[in-house]
């Protein structure tokens, strides 16, 4: 498992195992408006601007070419062959297990542990995107090395990169919430963890996740080994949401340092470029991720989904046998 | 009771005022005794100097603009000289002046001009200042009334504020969201969050987080957006209808006031303002130095056009852009465009040529894009005639650099000391340290 697929295995996959019915409906229904791209030699998707007027043409292409990787645009175009006449784009969040800023596994590539952590992050993002932002029509795709969270909610699909960038910063907790609030009479200092709603609540959840996953080897800006050690020693308090005590034990100034460092780390929870790029191409669900021999798979139930069971092509099992 | 149009001239009530007035543009330079009498009747107004009193609609338009620039930039600003602008008695005249101003700017300069941006900002600032002068009860009442008029549904979806979020007039993080709705009502707030708020009174939390603050923010920003939309619609109609010469004259006068006042106040208001001076490579932040070396992988266009062009042009021509609160054009700092042509563009072009492949080899159209980002429209040449057709892009923040071009961002100690806000601040800081 996780070894590259050979040319022969790619052929077996597309000709015997794969079928067009495995491509999710949210792609099939808009196939003629999307740009497709292919990587034939493992050197990046340089065969781009491909258009298929019907799913049947896409099927014939994949079965004939058995590409190293297949992609399709998140954008819908009037003229996808020229990437012209942009209509709208899915709102996408790309969580790549390899690029998560704090990983407890310490592996060089991806493994069961960091894929599990990617899944945890995705669950947090979904909660916020649904619960706060009220987004609907969500499709979760296991990419082969992480997850693509794809929203086809008409309310956001026409939004530009600036709005998407603000959505991104909101859901990952990329900005320190302000700590001074005033009514008509007085100014109050309120820490993020004492505000159980709005952005401060989201921020607290993300910070908690990151602290819970720090390891003694984690690198945080402006946080020395001693401070990191203190954070690790006291983080059990956060299991019971005892933030006040955690802050007191760390020391208020040092606490600020930690929170600031984590804020900038949070930006790395998802690949920001993918979210703000309206014309991105993403791995086609059901296609083969040849570098790791895994199937890019739409996830129907995140709780029960196990990539090492549900996204492994048959030829890999046979390879083992 | 506060007239709605005093706060929102674009309301139905405001439109009705214009209809009832008849909209006769021929008399905007005629002395208006009703206006003069109204202003003299306002006790808080200083009347010792006759020049403080607008005599007609044209004067009132100019006074509005003058107030805006002085209020933002003049350390010796005297509120009582403009007290009438904050008195509800002025509503009828002020509403008409608002429409004259927007129409003049829309016809003459269009929605993307420096003048248009200033007028939109003016209206937002005026609304904010007017609200601040009201009694708390009046303020709450008028805010709710305007909000009800502006928003048709019971609840606002955050997606309806997308334009305001996109133009950064509203920060998403300031909104309290639940299932896509922006929570504004006290009852909604208690229903959704009453149970999870511990150790504090939910009423207090509501007042701190929502209260009137968010509502006011939303109406101010919506009025700004609607002003911008109105100027745009006037501009579109102006292509069909012959413009009134009196409006064109007022537009020129407004532009002159903006330029004159901005030049005057920007020369001393920036307490730590940095003088424009020749670019000094040694003082550039690491990201700019890296970009100047040329980009070897993807993202050449973004780096050259969106990152380098604004940084180099503002560093050279208007380094105090973020301090001055005023919008300048390139030609305000470089009237004959010699600096832009001989110093700034060559530096941008050289970096473009150092890219792999050289940017203009396969994408020569990016030269036009560079002109556009300097505010000169989508044209091959840099011509004063086209200035204002596009917006002079301000330097990208560190946040945006991290998001869009992470490979460029390798902060050094100076970046960290300056809290990584904007590469321009790094340059300013270094230039000051070197006494340049």
Q: Residue A255's pLDDT is what?
A: 96
Lowest mean pLDDT among A116-120, B16-20, B168-172, B432-436: B432-436
Q: Residue B265's pLDDT is what?
A: 55
Nearest by CB to residue B173, choosing from A133, A160, A199, is A199
Average pLDDT over residues B122-132: 94
Q: How far apart are CA B406 and CA B400, in angstroms?
A: 9
SS3 state of residue A162: helix
Residue B191 pLDDT more than 50? yes
Q: Residue B152's pLDDT is what?
A: 59
User: From the CA of A171, how many Å to the nearest CA of chain B?
Assistant: 10
Residue B332 pLDDT more than 80? yes
Q: Above pLDDT 90, what percent of chain B?
A: 52
What number of other Cβ atoms are within 10 A of residue B318's Cβ? 25
SS3 state of residue B406: helix
Residue B268 pLDDT more than 50? no
Q: Residue B404: its chain A contacts at CB < 8 A?
A: 272-273, 276
Residues 147-206 of B with CB under 8 A from A: 157-159, 162, 165-168, 171-181, 192-193, 196-200, 204-205
The angle subtended at Cα B237 by Cα B235 and Cα B238, nearest 5°, is 65
Q: How far apart are CA B103 and CA B61, in angstroms?
A: 11
Tens-place pLDDT, residues B71-99? 887 888 899 999 999 999 999 999 999 99
Tens-place pLDDT, residues B134-164? 998 899 899 988 888 776 556 788 998 888 8
- Which entry of A25, A47, A84, A94 is annotated as an active-site residue? A94
Q: Residue B269's pLDDT is what?
A: 41
Give yes or no for a contact between B256 and B104, defined as CB atoms under 8 angstroms apart: no
Q: Residue B153's pLDDT is what?
A: 59
Lowest mean pLDDT among B12-26, B79-93, B307-321, B323-337: B323-337
User: From the CA of B285, how many Å to the nearest CA of chain A?
Assistant: 19
Q: How far apart are CA B294 and CA B304, in angstroms?
A: 8
Type and span of the H or E element at B333:
helix B330-333
Residue spans of chain A under pLDDT 50: none
Could you report the predicted ipTM of this complex, rounded to two decimals? 0.92
Residue B167 pLDDT more than 90? no
In 3D space, the residue among B257, B172, B247 whose CA is nearest the CA of residue B217 turns out to be B172
Residue B169 pLDDT more than 80? no
What number of other Cβ atoms are within 10 A of residue A293's Cβ? 23
Tokens of B106: 């829309």
Q: How far apart are CA A198 and CA A195, in angstroms?
A: 8
Tens-place pLDDT, residues A82-130? 898 999 999 999 999 999 999 999 898 889 999 999 999 999 999 999 9
A127 is catalytic: no
Q: Which domains does chain A carry? A: 1-160+278-321 (3.90.920.10), 173-269 (1.10.8)
Which of B373-400 are b and which e, b meaning 16 or more Cβ less than 10 Å from the residue's Cβ? Answer: bbbbbeeeebeeebbbbbbbbbbbbbbb
B206 or B436: which leads in pLDDT: B206
Give yes or no for a contact between A269 and A180, defined as CB atoms under 8 angstroms apart: no
Q: Is the peptide bond before B91 cis (omega within 30 degrees of 0)?
A: no
Q: How far apart are CA B431 and CA B436, in angstroms?
A: 5
Average pLDDT over residues B400-425: 88
Q: How far apart are CA B322 and CA B423, in angstroms?
A: 12
Torsion over CA of B108, B111, B116 and B120, rounded to 10 degrees?
A: 140
The mean predicted confidence, pLDDT, of chain B is 88
Task: Tell me how far apart the terminal alpha carbons of chain A are, to the nearest angstrom.
Answer: 12
Give yes or no for a contact between A101 and A160, defined as CB atoms under 8 angstroms apart: no
Q: Residue B178: its chain A contacts at CB < 8 A?
A: 131-132, 134, 197
Q: How far apart are CA B364 and CA A140, in angstroms?
A: 40
Q: Residue A179: its chain B contacts at CB < 8 A?
A: none
The angle subtended at Cα B1 by Cα B6 and Cα B48, nearest 5°, is 60
Task: At B350, give phi and psi (nearest 5°).
Answer: -65, -40
Q: How far apart are CA B387 and CA B151, in angstroms?
A: 36
Q: How far apart are CA A113 and CA A117, in angstroms?
A: 6
Tens-place pLDDT, residues B336-364? 899 999 999 999 999 999 998 889 887 88
Q: Residue B271's pLDDT is what?
A: 42
Give yes or no for a contact between B218 and B131, defined as CB atoms under 8 angstroms apart: no
What's the half-sphere exposure (Cβ side, CA atoms, 13 Å) at A321? 5
Any CB–CB contact under 8 A between A270 and chain B?
A: no
Give how far Cα A284 sits from Cα of A10, A24, A64, A77, Å.
15, 9, 16, 17
Q: How far apart are CA B361 and CA B379, in angstroms?
A: 18
Strands, E assignment, B174-226: 177-178, 181-182
Residue B168 pLDDT more than 80? no
Q: Residue B267's pLDDT is what?
A: 47
Nearest by CB to residue A196, choosing from B193, B211, B402, is B193
Task: Tell me how far apart the terminal alpha carbons of chain B are, to the nearest angstrom.
Answer: 56
> B337: left (phi > 0), else alpha (psi -120 to 50), else beta?
left
User: From the CA of B403, how many Å to the nearest CA of chain A?
Assistant: 6
Residue the block writes with tokens 């983080």:
A235
B357 or B101: which leads in pLDDT: B101
Give yes or no for a contact between B390 and B372, defined as CB atoms under 8 angstroms apart: yes
């Amino acid at each position: 498992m996780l070894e590259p697929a050979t040319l022969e295995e790619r052929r077996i996959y597309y000709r015997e195992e794969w079928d067009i019915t495995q491509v999710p409906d949210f792609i099939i229904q808009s196939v003629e408006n999307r740009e497709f791209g292919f990587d034939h030699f493992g050197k990046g998707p340089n065969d781009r601007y491909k258009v298929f007027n019907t799913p049947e043409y896409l099927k014939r292409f994949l079965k004939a070419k058995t590409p190293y990787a297949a992609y399709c645009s998140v954008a819908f175009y009037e003229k996808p062959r020229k990437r012209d006449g942009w209509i709208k784009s899915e709102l996408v969040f790309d969580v790549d297990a390899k690029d998560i800023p704090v990983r407890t596994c310490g592996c060089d590539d991806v493994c069961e542990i960091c894929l599990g952590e990617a899944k945890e992050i995705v669950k947090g993002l979904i909660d916020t995107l649904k619960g706060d932002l009220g987004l609907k029509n969500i499709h979760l795709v296991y990419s082969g090395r992480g997850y693509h969270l794809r929203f086809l909610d008409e309310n956001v699909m026409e939004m530009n990169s600036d709005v998407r960038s603000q959505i991104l910063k909101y859901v990952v907790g990329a900005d320190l919430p302000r700590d001074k609030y005033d009514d008509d009479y007085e100014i109050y200092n309120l820490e993020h963890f004492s505000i159980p709603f709005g952005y401060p609540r989201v921020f607290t959840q993300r910070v908690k996740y990151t602290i819970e996953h720090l390891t003694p080897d984690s690198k945080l800006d402006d946080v020395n080994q001693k401070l990191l050690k203190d954070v690790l020693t006291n983080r059990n308090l956060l299991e019971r949401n005892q933030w006040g005590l955690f802050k007191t034990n760390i020391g208020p100034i040092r606490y600020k340092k930690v929170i600031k460092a984590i804020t900038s780390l949070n930006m790395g929870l998802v690949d920001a470029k993918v979210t703000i790029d309206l014309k991105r191409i993403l791995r086609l669900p059901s296609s083969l991720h040849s570098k790791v021999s895994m199937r890019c798979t739409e996830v129907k139930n995140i709780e029960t989904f196990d990539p090492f069971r549900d996204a492994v092509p048959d030829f890999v099992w046979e390879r083992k046998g | 009771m506060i007239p709605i149009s005093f706060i929102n001239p674009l309301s139905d009530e405001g439109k009705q005022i214009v209809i009832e007035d008849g909209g006769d543009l021929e008399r905007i330079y005629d002395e208006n005794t009703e206006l003069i009498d109204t202003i003299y009747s306002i006790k808080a107004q200083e009347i010792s100097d006759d020049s403080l009193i607008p005599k007609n609609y044209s004067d009132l338009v100019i006074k509005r603009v003058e107030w805006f620039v002085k209020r933002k930039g003049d350390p010796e600003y005297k509120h009582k000289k403009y007290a009438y602008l904050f008195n509800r008695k002025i509503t009828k005249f002020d509403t008409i002046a608002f429409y004259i101003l927007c129409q003049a700017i829309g016809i003459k300069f269009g929605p993307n001009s420096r003048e248009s941006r200033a007028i939109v900002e003016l209206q937002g600032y005026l609304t904010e200042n007017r609200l601040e002068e009201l009694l708390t009860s009046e303020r709450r009442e008028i805010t709710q009334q305007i909000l009800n008029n502006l928003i048709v549904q019971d609840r606002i979806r955050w997606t309806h504020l997308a334009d305001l979020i996109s133009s950064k007039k509203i920060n998403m993080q300031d909104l309290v969201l639940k299932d896509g709705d922006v929570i504004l009502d006290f009852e909604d707030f208690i229903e959704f969050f009453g149970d999870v708020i511990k150790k504090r009174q939910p009423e207090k939390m509501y007042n701190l987080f929502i209260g009137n603050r968010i509502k006011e923010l939303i109406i101010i920003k919506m009025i700004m957006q609607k002003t911008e939309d109105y100027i745009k619609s006037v501009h579109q109609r102006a292509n069909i209808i012959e413009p009134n010469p009196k409006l064109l004259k007022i537009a020129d006068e407004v532009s002159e006031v903006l330029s004159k006042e901005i030049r005057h106040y920007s020369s001393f208001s920036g307490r730590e303002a940095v003088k424009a001076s020749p670019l000094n490579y040694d003082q550039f932040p690491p990201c700019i130095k890296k970009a100047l070396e040329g980009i070897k992988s993807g993202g050449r266009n973004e780096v050259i056009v969106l990152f380098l062009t604004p940084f180099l042009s503002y560093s050279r021509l208007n380094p105090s852009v973020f301090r001055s609160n005023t919008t300048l054009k390139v030609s305000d700092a470089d009237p004959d465009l010699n600096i832009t042509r001989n110093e700034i563009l060559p530096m941008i072009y050289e970096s473009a040529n150092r890219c792999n492949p050289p940017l203009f080899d396969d994408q020569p159209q990016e030269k036009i894009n560079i002109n556009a980002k300097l505010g000169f429209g989508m044209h091959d040449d840099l011509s004063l005639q086209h200035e204002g057709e596009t917006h002079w892009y301000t330097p990208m923040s560190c946040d945006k650099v991290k998001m869009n071009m992470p490979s460029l961002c390798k902060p050094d100690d100076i970046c960290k000391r300056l809290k990584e806000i904007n590469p321009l601040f790094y340059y300013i800081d270094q230039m000051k340290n070197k006494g340049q």
